[in-house]
A = this chain, B = another copy of it.
Amino acid sequence: MELLKERIRRDGTVKGSDVLKVDSFLNHQMDVALFEEIGKEFLRRFDGCGVNKILTIEASGIGIACVTAQFFHCPAVFAKKSQTKNIAGQVYTTKVESFTHGRVYDVIVSAKFLGPGDKVLIIDDFLANGAALEGLIDLVNQSGAELAGAGVVIEKAFQPGGDRLRARGIRVESLARVKAMSEENGVEFVD
């Protein structure tokens, strides 16, 4: 998605060898006009797949998931990172290691909102080692829902997550695939 790559080149900042800061438009301040273009592109790629539910994980996936859900005319569900008082009843649960936060989260989704008959598109802002997506796929499998695939805004293609998921037969659509990045040379994309 050229518009997105241009935006990453212009406003993204590389820190060290593996942090790409896109907090001015993607995951802290959110450019919702860009999100609309992202949602349209996910629809173009997954149109006709029968998607009736968008699944993401809090927090930075939520905005993109909601705007994408507008194009699919379906609800979005976000998996929660810890048990709260306000989730009662049956839940599906999995564990996800966050490398950003340096900890392991219990991630849960209520069984009321995911189950047989659902065709699920997973949406997230980043794909690097794949831990978050693998956790969400585990939740979909536990629920008996069918997985249409995963839509990712930025994939760090030099990390193993995307390849590992594709090797499992999962359809992963990334709108910008970063081949390499450095503070000196910025971001280089996979063609």
Interface residues of A (CB under 8 A from B): 15, 19, 21, 23-25, 28-33, 35-36, 58-59, 62-63, 65-67, 69-70, 73, 75-78, 80, 82, 84-88, 100-102, 109-110, 112-113
Contact check, A86 vs B30: say whether CB atoms are below 8 A apart. no
In the complex, the count of this chain's copies comes to: 2
Task: Please give, as numbers and ranges, the residues of chain B lying within 8 Å of A65 by CB-CB distance.
Answer: 63
| A interface majority secondary structure | mixed
Q: Which single residue of chain B is at the shortest CB-CB distance from A68?
A: B32
Assuming the contacts A28-B110, A67-B67, asked whether A23 and B86 have C-beta atoms less than 8 A apart, the reply is: yes
Contact check, A66 vs B69: say whether CB atoms are below 8 A apart. no
Assuming the contacts A30-B77, A59-B80, A78-B30, asked whether A23 and B110 have C-beta atoms less than 8 A apart, the reply is: yes
